[in-house]
Structure 1
Amino acid sequence: MAQGPTEAMVRCCRPFLVVLGFVLVSLAPASVEARDSGVCSTGAITCLEQGWNEKERSWWYSTSQGSRLLPLSWALALEQSANTAGFFSEDNFSRYGYLPSPPGDGNPHGLPVGFAVDQDDSSKADLMCERFPETCNAFVMRKPWVGMTCSACHTNDIVFEGKTIRVEGAPTLADFQGLLEGLLDALVMTHDDDAKFDRFARAVLQADLSVESRRSLRLQLAEQIAWQTLLQQRNGREFRSGFGRLDAQGHILNKVAIIGGGPELEDALKSDAPSSYPFIWNTSQQDKVQWNGIARNILNLSILGKQTDIGALVRNTSEVIGVFAHVEISPKWKSGLLGYRSSLRAAEMIDLERQLARLKSPRWPEDILPKIDWTKAERGQVHFEAECAQCHEKLAWDDTRTPIKAKMSSLLSSGTDMSLACNTFMHQANAGNYEGRRPFMIQGEPIDSPDFTRNMLTNAAVGAVIGKVDELAGKFFDDVFDQAFFWRRAAEEAVDGKTYLPGVKDQRKKELARACLTSPEATREPDESVLVYKARPLNGIWATAPYLHNGSVPTLYDLLLPSPLRLVLDSEEEMSTPGPGDRPSVFHVGSREFDPVRIGFKTGPEPVHQAADGRITAPFEYRVYDTDGAPVPGNYNSGHEYGTDALSEAEKWELVEYLKTL
């Protein structure tokens, strides 16, 4: 397996890396000190001490990474499909679980937390013009656009007895899938309803309103509708993620396949393996990131006094590609050595990553939440060291420097839901413009058609970074992802007499599970495989519910209970049915009301939002089993039962008390 760069490689490459760093640092924005949020100064929200001040927090919320969802003028004018209220209004976005952010120097339009304005008024912004010809012809690409930044997915509020606590870096409870579906409905209704379109056109075009400009605007709407429709068709609308989850890797892989221009592959995998948004404090300290450890932090250099991690840059590029960045995989320059044109903001992504590296984990606020029983927590520490510490290294809440080597567990040993890891490993697509190119530009086997989409993702991410930095930079990105993983092929499934996904009725899912879990990748050492899940330090874990990688367990106490589900059974075994002492198999997600006893959010069916027009938003009903009693792949709550079954009821509560202190 490819290893990280050796000291000799670093010495050899240092002159180039210094030049590369100079280019990136010289482009970095210097506007952090110019913005003031007011999020915490109003008194309505309590912000915990996590190492950031108000200005840094505001900059984190509103700095573009190059994501482009809609032109800003469209976003400000777009109405909801069912009424004339603004789609981007605070009231509407609250329905989807996104947090309001007060207007200020960094947010003059009052956009929600994590929705940023991006603009490039040069010809370099004219991207994907084959997909959006009228939009490019009208020079709309050069106007301000609204997109998402990392804070939209990694900021959350906790509510307890009427008080709100802001937690930076925590997983959001937003409904990304619902937001995109609502947006598409609003665009379609605006295009089709003459009265809506007239109001929209007047607001967008203003003094430029004319017969010709209205005709052009309707064509632009049609282009955006076709694009959003294609994305949703590839990702699938049948499997519901609900609040607090997103199949991010599936969305990224499908987006990468689409921008390659190839036709959809028959029986292509949909986005049906949603994961909980990870908490992201201490991210820069970890050797592997993502739930399945697919990306690595590889080379952290001090350049002109600033730390720049090349692996983090490419990892973040992959994520921004998944959330609306414009990228052109040009049919020209087949080698890709000159990189790809894109809307990515490399300098801003570097500075965002640097600020994230200073984020401390949140401490349990005893002035708001019930006070910790420290005597009980001391007894819980004994259980933690006996049952948990071998995988979850202890880290102080304010330690932002100690390197963290992730502990990886194979799918079969952990027993948790396999869908995320297996879908990422098995996902294939027609290559389109990627065909014949190498995943790492100058290394790797040429991409076939069809081929594994992970190879195309690597090519797109590395190419987009090169296109922003330097044509030679590709030589230094070879170790960002595990090269051996991206070159490996899934072997033919073995016939072993075992039952895969027992109880599941979807035969295609069972066949996918067999192919994945019997592949050589599944039996590799955990540190050398991607059919694994990652354990990490648990500092701040109290603020990150729901739990497990797919959000299938609502509270920390429930995590200490068993699950009857199993990924694989021998032919003579039978699967148990859920009982009263097992993890909950049905619960509701979306409430921010905190449960300080079991440690998580309230799981009842009460509405999570009432809109100004009276519409009620219900919480998402998470079901481990469908209404017929069959397990739902993607929603398994199995696994992570290492030793906890040996704890008594009193000892489990002691362990929960200790977890509050981390």
Structure 2
Amino acid sequence: MDGEHARQPLPVGFAILKGGIDPATGAFYEDQIGLTCAACHTGHLEYKNVSIRFDGGPAMVNLGEVERVIGLSIGYTLILPWRFERFANRLESIEGRIDRKKLRSDLELALQKIKAQKTASDGLLAGQGVADLDEGFGRLDALNRIGNQVFYTSFLDPVTGELSDPLLKGNFARNDAPVSFPPIWDTPYFLWAQYDASVLNELVRNSGEALGVSAKINMRAPAPGRPLFESSIHLSDIARFEELLRGTDPFSSAEASGRKFNGLVAPRWKDAQDRFKGDPAWSIDETLVEKGRDLYRSHCFECHRGPVNDPAFDAKWPEDSFWKPENPDRSAKGEKNWVEIGGRRYFNVAQLPVNVIGTDHQQSNVLTTRRVHLPEALGLNPIDDLNKAWGCGLSADRAADPLFVLALMDVVGKTIDQWNVANNSSEQAKQQMWGPRKNCQNPRVYLGARVSRNGKDKDVLALEPQYRARPLDGVWATAPYLHNGSVPTLKDMLLPQGRRPSSFCVGSRKFDPVNVGLVTKARANDAGAAGLTDFNVSLLGNSNRGHSFEGNETDIRRLPPGVIGPELSDTDRRALLEYLKTL
């Protein structure tokens, strides 16, 4: 095509799903536009009219609003003749001659589907007497959305929109655990991914997310050429993307001092600072950095471990280096810093029980309380299936319906297996794509326990939800803070929990390099700009408590839940903040 008719690039985070055969219906579907990883994991900050974008950071996007606006846009295009003509003319300038009658029909069908889905979901929530929580900008209740897509929407009749089993209506859950989009640099090397340390295997993690953003899957009934769990997921591409993010093995260097991540890496403060030379807001006080390094070792090291890229830290505390296979404090507990599985090393991210760290517990509820009904035709028994396939060691569960997270692991595993069957994958190809890690639950969360009933001891499934910490490289570029995005700046994170902002606006990309994070309101009762999310910490799922430095107790063994260290002085807070900028 010439320049005038060249295809326009899609916005970051969108890609074309090529047309094919729907595995659930056998009908052909045309090319479609869908979301990619970049939609949620592309960071962007603005300062003095300079815009900086960085791969792998948390996006400042409101996907719920994107869905609403798309529906409204289609509706307005159908209602307003001039708008339809403008849209059709634009398509013709790109594609050539089009069938305008078919275009209108396709838009009407799309709008009908959107309306039907909205009406159905509203009715289900009304029947439960609940409503969705406001995810707003920069957050998504990804786990519950994935659950609704896989265990409710996938069972709907594609023609009538009805369910064959009324019990499946109970599989639909409100969005009540929104969390910030996590940064994904370093993630391929984490032993456990997600805020709640819920996913061990990377292929399962990425494939489950693909299903959550509406990849097509046959969950209804097998048919000739359409077996159960056949999907439109491009698993070979997903595995390739993960390897690109991973980069080469950092342990290929013999010396710890030469090790570093070289796949997707965190943005550096210095790189942004170079854009604003001479601006004191971006300057770093090296004297305070040295003091901050000592404070980090005293107050942050236990959970976030040694910094990824600080030679000065490693020189001062060589045995505590991030890159050491073992650190003395972990060895004393029988833990390793890095765990080797199948010839690969994975960083053993620290985990803390939710009630100890004291941050908002809504996310942890998804894994430990949500259950789903599974039709018998699927032949799924998650605990038995996972134990048989992977030796997960799960104890029996007394409930009739399985825990959502175990059911999802089972479905994703069978979807991957079916893809390998359909593509006649060799054993070597299967192993390479799966990687060396199992598709098993976190043993710290899903515990085996013994109980006595009627004079007999039985093994049962017990639950202790955990949140995991991650290394803090690039933390300066990941505001707002805590897993649910309830603290606007790093400075606020270092304040006692009772002194953190009770409300602030989210949605602007304007960056505050002094306090490190979002530009906040001058007064708590000020209104945010039109269109932004007014984040109120008193609402369900929005707690900004926990992970607090307060009081005078210095013995970490005697700190109350939610408190991780004594209150810092203003000077100490500034010093620690200066150091965190350098990571």
1:346 and 2:346 aligned: no
TM-score normalised according to structure 1 size: 0.62
Secondary structure at the aligned position of 1:591 is classed as coil
1:388 and 2:300 aligned: yes
In the alignment, the residues of structure 2 paired with residue 225 and residue 489 of structure 1 have an alpha-carbon distance, to the nearest angstrom, of 45
In the alignment, the residues of structure 1 paired with residue 135 and residue 448 of structure 2 have an alpha-carbon distance, to the nearest angstrom, of 29
* 1:149-228 alignment runs, 5 A limit: 149-190=36-77, 207=97, 209=99, 215=105, 218-219=108-109, 221-227=111-117
Q: 1:521 aligns with which of 450, 458, 463?
A: 463
CA contact (8 A) 1:542 1:600 kept: yes
Q: 1:604 aligns with which of 495, 504, 521?
A: 521
In the alignment, the residues of structure 2 paired with residue 619 and residue 145 of structure 1 have an alpha-carbon distance, to the nearest angstrom, of 29
Counterpart of 2:18, as a letter, is: Q
In the alignment, the residues of structure 1 paired with residue 122 and residue 243 of structure 2 have an alpha-carbon distance, to the nearest angstrom, of 33
Q: 1:417 aligns with which of 349, 360, 369?
A: 360
CA separation of 1:316 and 1:620: change in aligned 2, threshold 3 A: same
Match of 1:316 in 2: 206
In the alignment, the residues of structure 2 paired with residue 193 and residue 449 of structure 1 have an alpha-carbon distance, to the nearest angstrom, of 52
Q: CA deviation at 1:413?
A: 0.4
Match of 1:545 in 2: 479
Match of 1:35 in 2: none
CA contact (8 A) 2:218 2:228 kept: no
Match of 2:316 in 1: none
In the alignment, the residues of structure 2 paired with residue 413 and residue 538 of structure 1 have an alpha-carbon distance, to the nearest angstrom, of 20
1:479 and 2:438 aligned: yes
* 1:499-578 alignment runs, 5 A limit: 520-522=462-464, 531-564=465-498
Q: CA deviation at 1:345?
A: 1.0
Secondary structure at the aligned position of 2:283 is classed as coil
CA separation of 1:229 and 1:171: change in aligned 2, threshold 3 A: farther
Q: CA deviation at 1:648?
A: 1.2
Counterpart of 1:317, as a letter, is: S
In the alignment, the residues of structure 1 paired with residue 131 and residue 91 of structure 2 have an alpha-carbon distance, to the nearest angstrom, of 30
Secondary structure at the aligned position of 2:463 is classed as helix
Q: Deviations over 1:392-433 (max 9, x none)?
A: 112434999973111111111011100011123211233246
Counterpart of 2:56, as a letter, is: G
Of 639-648 and 218-227, the range deviating more from structure 2: 218-227
In the alignment, the residues of structure 1 paired with residue 449 and residue 484 of structure 2 have an alpha-carbon distance, to the nearest angstrom, of 24
Gaps of at least 5 residues in structure 1 are 1-103, 131-135, 297-310, 493-518, 523-530, 565-581, 607-615, 626-631
Q: 1:274 aligns with which of 171, 178, 203?
A: 178
Q: CA deviation at 1:468?
A: 1.7
Match of 1:359 in 2: 264
Q: 2:190 aligns with which of 278, 281, 286?
A: 286
CA contact (8 A) 1:439 1:456 kept: yes
In the alignment, the residues of structure 1 paired with residue 398 and residue 69 of structure 2 have an alpha-carbon distance, to the nearest angstrom, of 36
In the alignment, the residues of structure 2 paired with residue 212 and residue 248 of structure 1 have an alpha-carbon distance, to the nearest angstrom, of 34
CA separation of 1:172 and 1:386: change in aligned 2, threshold 3 A: same
Q: Deviations over 1:87-140 (max 9, x none)?
A: xxxxxxxxxxxxxxxxx9xx94232101011204x4xx224439xxxxx4xx4x
CA separation of 1:203 and 1:108: change in aligned 2, threshold 3 A: closer
Q: CA deviation at 1:164?
A: 1.9
CA separation of 1:371 and 1:150: change in aligned 2, threshold 3 A: same
Counterpart of 2:61, as a letter, is: A
Match of 1:378 in 2: 290
Q: Deviations over 1:140-170 (max 9, x none)?
A: x1x3211111011111111122222222111
Of 415-424 and 399-408, the range deviating more from structure 2: 399-408
Match of 2:17 in 1: 118
Q: 1:657 aligns with which of 561, 564, 578?
A: 578
Match of 1:17 in 2: none
CA separation of 1:605 and 1:439: change in aligned 2, threshold 3 A: farther
Gaps of at least 5 residues in structure 2 are 157-164, 247-262, 277-281, 311-321, 324-343, 388-395, 452-460, 524-528, 549-562
Q: CA deviation at 1:596?
A: 1.0
Secondary structure at the aligned position of 1:368 is classed as helix
Match of 2:329 in 1: none
CA separation of 1:413 and 1:520: change in aligned 2, threshold 3 A: same
CA separation of 1:255 and 1:648: change in aligned 2, threshold 3 A: same
Q: 1:463 aligns with which of 414, 422, 427?
A: 414
Secondary structure at the aligned position of 2:412 is classed as helix
CA contact (8 A) 2:178 2:484 kept: yes
Q: CA deviation at 1:182?
A: 1.6
Q: 1:331 aligns with which of 221, 235, 239?
A: 221
In the alignment, the residues of structure 1 paired with residue 23 and residue 536 of structure 2 have an alpha-carbon distance, to the nearest angstrom, of 41
In the alignment, the residues of structure 1 paired with residue 38 and residue 519 of structure 2 have an alpha-carbon distance, to the nearest angstrom, of 23
CA contact (8 A) 2:22 2:232 kept: no
In the alignment, the residues of structure 2 paired with residue 211 and residue 110 of structure 1 have an alpha-carbon distance, to the nearest angstrom, of 26
CA contact (8 A) 1:438 1:447 kept: no
Match of 1:247 in 2: 141
Q: Deviations over 1:618-640 (max 9, x none)?
A: 32110012xxxxxx220000111
CA contact (8 A) 2:503 2:537 kept: yes
Q: CA deviation at 1:329?
A: 1.0
Aligned Cα root-mean-square deviation (Å)? 3.9
In the alignment, the residues of structure 2 paired with residue 331 and residue 230 of structure 1 have an alpha-carbon distance, to the nearest angstrom, of 22
CA contact (8 A) 2:352 2:466 kept: yes
Counterpart of 1:419, as a letter, is: Q
Counterpart of 2:283, as a letter, is: K
Q: Deviations over 1:541-600 (max 9, x none)?
A: 001000000000011110111224xxxxxxxxxxxxxxxxx1111111112111111110
Counterpart of 2:17, as a letter, is: D
In the alignment, the residues of structure 2 paired with residue 636 and residue 253 of structure 1 have an alpha-carbon distance, to the nearest angstrom, of 24
Secondary structure at the aligned position of 2:275 is classed as coil
TM-score normalised according to structure 2 size: 0.70
Counterpart of 1:129, as a letter, is: T
CA separation of 1:395 and 1:544: change in aligned 2, threshold 3 A: same
CA contact (8 A) 2:199 2:442 kept: no
In the alignment, the residues of structure 1 paired with residue 565 and residue 443 of structure 2 have an alpha-carbon distance, to the nearest angstrom, of 35
Counterpart of 1:655, as a letter, is: L
CA separation of 1:320 and 1:650: change in aligned 2, threshold 3 A: same
CA contact (8 A) 2:386 2:440 kept: no
Of 171-180 and 432-441, the range deviating more from structure 2: 432-441
Q: CA deviation at 1:533?
A: 0.7
In the alignment, the residues of structure 2 paired with residue 547 and residue 232 of structure 1 have an alpha-carbon distance, to the nearest angstrom, of 31
Secondary structure at the aligned position of 1:646 is classed as coil
In the alignment, the residues of structure 1 paired with residue 500 and residue 483 of structure 2 have an alpha-carbon distance, to the nearest angstrom, of 15
CA contact (8 A) 1:285 1:403 kept: yes
Counterpart of 1:352, as a letter, is: F
CA separation of 1:542 and 1:212: change in aligned 2, threshold 3 A: closer
Counterpart of 2:356, as a letter, is: S
CA contact (8 A) 2:488 2:504 kept: yes
Q: CA deviation at 1:218?
A: 3.4
Counterpart of 1:273, as a letter, is: A
CA contact (8 A) 1:563 1:637 kept: yes
**Matched pairs, number:** 464
In the alignment, the residues of structure 1 paired with residue 123 and residue 7 of structure 2 have an alpha-carbon distance, to the nearest angstrom, of 34
Q: 2:25 aligns with which of 129, 136, 140?
A: 129
Counterpart of 2:481, as a letter, is: Y
